[in-house]
Structure 1
Amino acid sequence: MIRRIAAAALSLTALLALTACGADSSADTATSQDEVTLTIGDQAKTLQTIFAASGALDGAKYKVKWAEFEGAAPLYQAVQAGATDTAYSADLPALQALSGGVKFKTIAALKNDGHSTGIIVPKDSDVKSVKDLKGKTVVVSSAKGSIAEYLLANVLQQNGLNYSDVKVQYLLPTDAQAAFVSGKIGVWATFGTYMAVGLQQEGRLLVDGTDGRISGYGFIGASEQALASPAKKTALGDFLKRLGTALEWTDTHESAYADAIVKLNGADPSVAKTLSTSAYSKVLPITSEVTSKVQDVADLMNGIGVLEPNVDVAKSADTSVLK
């Protein structure tokens, strides 16, 4: 039986917030691109904002719907339920979903430098280094197997500590953010928008994912059902190329991208400025270099009991979508 990957027993209705950009999908039987609708899974409106600001989807022959989630765990649950065609996450959430039996393939890799994943503490915290985490409770967003949890596990190992030296609690990002701001969380391993807000709200960065502390890789995944449709598979290939164009745009238009984050996400300008420099910068084919690096992530997390069973990263990829 497929194991649950969500942090809580949430109904699918509560998970989904679909913003229609076209008619309802009839893509399973579609024979031409103008009949195809891709339902694209997103987190915190990240991809939606990038595409809206860059205009990279203009002229696409297929239609797009957005499925919005606050974290990777509910997004992959929706993939399993057939409610979205794609997933978008860092490497470990994708591995956790694959380990849990979600029927999808990774179809493209994303790359950044890791500085948008971090462990933060209140500014007046007595935690000054990773070694000070021994005996502490660390809240991890958003669920077991998040990229923030890999950062925590890896830096503990690098500093001579065991994963059992800390007590880990899981909390969805919005709940954790509220708890951190109100002083109820002493150590928070998080990412992206939530990390930026936490640092703005009297937080202090203990360590981030740069310098190889995380792989820096993310994945676009596609459900096996979507990949079985030739028309959808063709549309997915075009979508990946357009995503590459959109990410290049964010890299050369940081100010305009920050303005879009403010306008479309309601973010504070200072948070938006931080986020505009932390997006994935490239879409890459899934090469042996990618799978080798991410296999190291899988092996470490399997070794501490977080990823069970382990995942063969190379065998979990469909390299035919992005040539």
Structure 2
Amino acid sequence: MKPRRIAAAALSLTALLALTACGADSSAEASSSNTATLTIGDQAKTLQTIFAASDALKGAKYKVKWAEFEGAAPLYQAVQAGAADTGYSADLPALQALSGGVKIKNVAALKNDGTHVGIVVRKDSGIDSVKDLKGQKVVVSSAKGSIAEYLLANVLQQNGLNYKDVKVQYLLPTDAQAAFASGKVRIWATFGVYQAVGLEQGGKLLVDGADGRVSGYGFVNASDKALADPAKKAALSDFLGRLGTALKWTSTHQDAYAKAIQERNGADASVARTLASAAYGEVLPVDDGVNRTVQDVADLMNGIGVLEPNVDVAKSADTTLLH
């Protein structure tokens, strides 16, 4: 692995292993020593909340252990270290991990409308358009190669600006949130719950990822080591089917899902509703259309020096798990 690619999350391996050890096991019917155990990487309790609310793991013949992280960079460090079997992120963090030598394959695609990622500015910042970002410091969460960074790069390009026209600083979401709330950070490219909270803490949305400003794709990926284990591969294939069921449940039970986010993540009601409405809606095969769209993301980021070396997206997929 090339640590510089994904080390910006500032978590040591010891801390990663400690975080993983804190993950809770989901109930499964079988409990013998022969039962496969999947350690599923998660961010901000997203997948855990979906499965707990939908009860989609009921009857699984394997155990699920959750490895919880606040961003994609430390999650993929854990996968590389063998502390998690799977990753889960938007497209660009997965590309960054692949570029950095993390031995994973994309096993399923996820899709949403892109509104879960945005550039939030303080209402008193004087920033009213993307063109106003020229010469400004922009905090990007969580690390180099995040989906928020792709949104920033893409909208700058769409508005005739160069990526070098802004000064980028990388901060983990929790640190950026505290700095934004205090007014020390005025412009914040972020995602998910952090975007929603930023809007409640004196922020306004400058632009989000809708209308193709981000691809809207995310990935579930698995380590090469897990894929080489027949029991884990079979369990992961089943897990992906259950994830599809769970995501369909969230799209048809948004009020119940929002309540679960509120209860399990500590979000207030309005933030929970925002997150529920912006969630990934389905699990998709990693097909040619997905690969072409995400390859465009890779090529843009490679062109500005953020994704080096570039990634061949099609060659980074394992299409045998999702049926």
TM range (shorter): over 0.9
Q: Report the CA distance between 1:12 and its aligned residue.
A: 2.3
**Which letter does structure 1 place at the counterpart of 2:15?**
A
Once residues 172 and 3 of structure 1 are traced to their aligned partners in structure 2, the CA distance between those partners, rounded to angstroms, is 17
Post-superposition CA distance 1:17-68 (Å, at most 9, x none): 4323169xxxxxxxx9961000000000000000000000000000000000
Post-superposition CA distance 1:108-164 (Å, at most 9, x none): 000000001000001122110000000000000000000000000000000000000
Query: Where do residues 1-323 of structure 1 align in structure 2 (5 Å cutoff)?
Result: 2-4=2-4, 5-15=6-16, 16-17=19-20, 18-21=22-25, 35-323=35-323
**Which letter does structure 2 place at the counterpart of 1:19?**
G
Post-superposition CA distance 1:228-271 (Å, at most 9, x none): 00111011010000000000000000110011011111111111
Q: Are the aligned partners of 1:34 and 1:61 in contact in 2 as well (CA < 8 Å)? A: no
Q: Are the aligned partners of 2:122 and 2:204 in contact in 1 as well (CA < 8 Å)? A: yes
1:29 aligned residue = none
Q: Report the CA distance between 1:171 and its aligned residue.
A: 0.1
TM-score relative to the length of structure 1? 0.95
Q: Are the aligned partners of 1:141 and 1:172 in contact in 2 as well (CA < 8 Å)? A: yes
Q: Are the aligned partners of 1:120 and 1:203 in contact in 2 as well (CA < 8 Å)? A: yes
Once residues 276 and 140 of structure 2 are traced to their aligned partners in structure 1, the CA distance between those partners, rounded to angstroms, is 23
Q: Are the aligned partners of 2:98 and 2:311 in contact in 1 as well (CA < 8 Å)? A: yes
Once residues 207 and 3 of structure 1 are traced to their aligned partners in structure 2, the CA distance between those partners, rounded to angstroms, is 32
Q: Report the CA distance between 1:278 and its aligned residue.
A: 0.8
Q: Are the aligned partners of 1:33 and 1:62 in contact in 2 as well (CA < 8 Å)? A: no
Farther off after superposition, 49-58 or 259-268? 259-268
Q: Runs of 4 or more off by more than 6 Å in structure 1?
A: none
Q: Report the CA distance between 1:13 and its aligned residue.
A: 3.0
**Which letter does structure 1 place at the counterpart of 2:173?**
P
2:3 alignment partner, SS class: coil
Once residues 42 and 75 of structure 1 are traced to their aligned partners in structure 2, the CA distance between those partners, rounded to angstroms, is 7
Once residues 256 and 161 of structure 2 are traced to their aligned partners in structure 1, the CA distance between those partners, rounded to angstroms, is 43
5+ residue gaps in structure 1?
24-31
Q: Are the aligned partners of 2:9 and 2:172 in contact in 1 as well (CA < 8 Å)? A: no
**Which letter does structure 1 place at the counterpart of 2:246?**
A
1:28 aligned residue = none
Pair 1:261–1:312, CA change in 2 (3 A): same
Once residues 161 and 2 of structure 1 are traced to their aligned partners in structure 2, the CA distance between those partners, rounded to angstroms, is 30
Once residues 9 and 131 of structure 2 are traced to their aligned partners in structure 1, the CA distance between those partners, rounded to angstroms, is 31
**Which letter does structure 2 place at the counterpart of 1:220?**
V
Once residues 313 and 10 of structure 1 are traced to their aligned partners in structure 2, the CA distance between those partners, rounded to angstroms, is 27
Q: Are the aligned partners of 2:42 and 2:48 in contact in 1 as well (CA < 8 Å)? A: yes
Q: Are the aligned partners of 1:33 and 1:235 in contact in 2 as well (CA < 8 Å)? A: no
**Which letter does structure 1 place at the counterpart of 2:23?**
T
Once residues 291 and 194 of structure 1 are traced to their aligned partners in structure 2, the CA distance between those partners, rounded to angstroms, is 28
CA RMSD of aligned residues (A): 1.5
1:290 alignment partner, SS class: helix
Once residues 184 and 90 of structure 1 are traced to their aligned partners in structure 2, the CA distance between those partners, rounded to angstroms, is 27
**Which letter does structure 1 place at the counterpart of 2:12?**
S
Once residues 36 and 115 of structure 2 are traced to their aligned partners in structure 1, the CA distance between those partners, rounded to angstroms, is 37
Once residues 84 and 45 of structure 1 are traced to their aligned partners in structure 2, the CA distance between those partners, rounded to angstroms, is 15
Q: Report the CA distance between 1:10 and its aligned residue.
A: 2.1
